[in-house]
Amino acid sequence: MSHLHIPDGILPLWLWLLGYILIAIYFIFGAFYIKKYKKQSKFPLISIMAALMILTMSIPLPFPVPYHVNLSVLTGIILGPVLAFFAVFTTNLLLAFLAHGGITVIGLNTVVISIEAALGYFIFRFLYKKFNKIFFSVFIATFLALLFSTFLNIGIVYTGTHNLSMLAHHHHGHHGEFNHKHHQNDHNFIEHENHHPPLMETHERQEGFDKHEHEENFNIKKFLSLMFIFGFIGWILESSLTGFIVSYINKVKPDILNL
Amino acid sequence: MKISDLDYYATFGNTFLHKVPAKYKLLDAIIIICAIFYAKNVYSLAIMYFLLITYLIFSGLPRFKFFKLSLYPLIFTAMFLYSIENLTYLTAFKLILRVLCFSTTFIYLIFTTPYIQIFKALSGFLPDIMVNILFNTYRSLFIINNTLENLLTTIRLRGRLRLNRPILALKTIGNLIGFFVIKSIETSEKMYDGIKLRGYSDNFKFLKD
């Protein structure tokens, strides 16, 4: 609901490799944390939270748009920011095999959703300490975490695809050639300003300008607006649901929340 | 599609791909990923996708479910393509074919290989902690799935959720998931006690083929 499941084949190699490097670093830190604080007994809880994240996706929501629950912030609240990462990674790995997200982008998706879980945890703790209102604190924490993770996701997509020629032509060939010619034209224009008829130059420059104008461009504003239209309904739904879930847990078994 | 259904196809299926060891299928998937990345034109991608789909037709796998699942990534791709200015048919086809080749490859893998076999093959690369969590998650998925099925049946029996009262519907789902979370956490505690009694020492061991 909150996050995009970026599929394989859209982001460039360097970006998804960076995602894997980031989670590898986090693995080392997480393993050190688990060993130091003897958190091995939490493995079944991490696994259950991962299983919950996967299974609750199949709960139908009574809304016309096909949203599904994500529960990453709830995972963050229950497991804490460090252990939530392992649950998020497991969920992403299992879902990637179902074409829900991609295998190559597991690293990046994990980074985004782990940040979402950690941010949700910290905002919730801060707000609950200050206002002592459970539903309000969870609602705001989830909403802000989802908003931030959506921006992060859009940022990742933009970083990987703003140079669309890489994606469209796969190699620098055509685009590079065009740019080279274009720069050469500019260079010639300055160097031989007096040797060419001005009309010819204007025509060549106009042609270059037209080509540039008809080039494929990733329009981040269009993407942002699309994400915000669909995302906003999702954020409200997920925030309210997480609020109701945590309120229920707080009433029935508050020790789960460690408040 | 539910993971339990997928696991059923992967475990009890009897196609040629089911008989190939998981590590070779993973290797094959890596080769296909490399081929997709280095495919320079739309034709090579189209041929690749055509071959993948042709195999699906004759493989004996559930064609409709397989195909439907492989189309899921197109939701994001459609949003992405919509955001491209001056989009040409060539780029659109290329991107769609790349995404479909990737998704189809991995759905072949998951339709013909049980998760356990994949985890086993991945255990060589992943840290012990992760292998532990993956095996536990797989186990948990099937244990708590029954609880969820029962809860969903209860909701249906009580007259479903209605669109005309969205807040009440959300609160009901929230309470349902809240109950499900509590039940699942209790199950995880019992599960941990159970496996500890049977000699679990924070490390999973499995038989080699």
Residue A86 belongs to a domain with what CATH number?
1.10.1760.20
Picking from A58, A167, A241, the nearest residue to B95 by CB comes out as A167
A223 contact residues in B (CB cutoff 8 A): 79-80, 82-83
Domain that holds residue A80: 13-256
A143 within some domain: yes
Q: What is the pLDDT of residues B49-59, one digit of tens each?
A: 999 999 888 88
The answer to whether A141 and A73 are in contact (CB under 8 A) is yes
A248 alpha carbon, distance to own chain's centre: 29
Which one is predicted more confidently, A211 or A136? A136
Distance from CA of B51 to the nearest CA of A (A): 18
Task: State the pTM of this model.
Answer: 0.83
Per-position DSSP letters for B4-58, written without gaps between them: HHHHHHHHH--SHHHHS-HHHHHHHHHHHHHHHHH--SHHHHHHHHHHHHHHHHH
Q: What is the pLDDT of residues B142-196, one digit of tens each?
A: 888 888 888 888 887 877 667 677 788 888 888 989 999 999 999 888 888 888 8
Measured CA to CA, the distance from residue A137 to residue A125 in angstroms comes to 8
Measured CA to CA, the distance from residue A59 to residue A37 in angstroms comes to 35
CA atoms within 13 A on the CB side of A78: 31
A7 within some domain: no
- What is the ipTM for the molecules in this complex? 0.86
Q: Interior CA angle at A125 toward A123 and A130, to 5°?
A: 95
Q: Is the pLDDT of residue B204 over 70?
A: no
How many domains are there within chain A? Answer: 1
A247 within some domain: yes
A6 within some domain: no
A108 within some domain: yes
**B110 contact A CB<8A:** yes
A220 within some domain: yes
Distance from CA of B9 to the nearest CA of A (A): 13
Which one is predicted more confidently, A214 or A149? A149
A28 within some domain: yes
pLDDT band with cut points at 50, 70 and 90 for residue A63: low
A4 within some domain: no
Q: Interior CA angle at B116 toward B120 and A256, to 5°?
A: 105
| CB neighbour burial string for B90-103, b if at least 16 within 10 angstroms, e if fewer | ebbebbbbbbbbbb
* pLDDT for A207: 55
In terms of DSSP bridges, do strands A217-218 and B84-85 run parallel, antiparallel, or are they unpaired?
antiparallel
Q: Is the pLDDT of residue A18 over 80?
A: yes
**A71-87: average pLDDT:** 92
Which one is predicted more confidently, A225 or A172? A225
* pLDDT for B101: 92
A53 alpha carbon, distance to own chain's centre: 17
> Does residue B84 sit in helix, strand or coil?
strand
The answer to whether B161 and B169 are in contact (CB under 8 A) is yes
Average pLDDT, chain A: 79
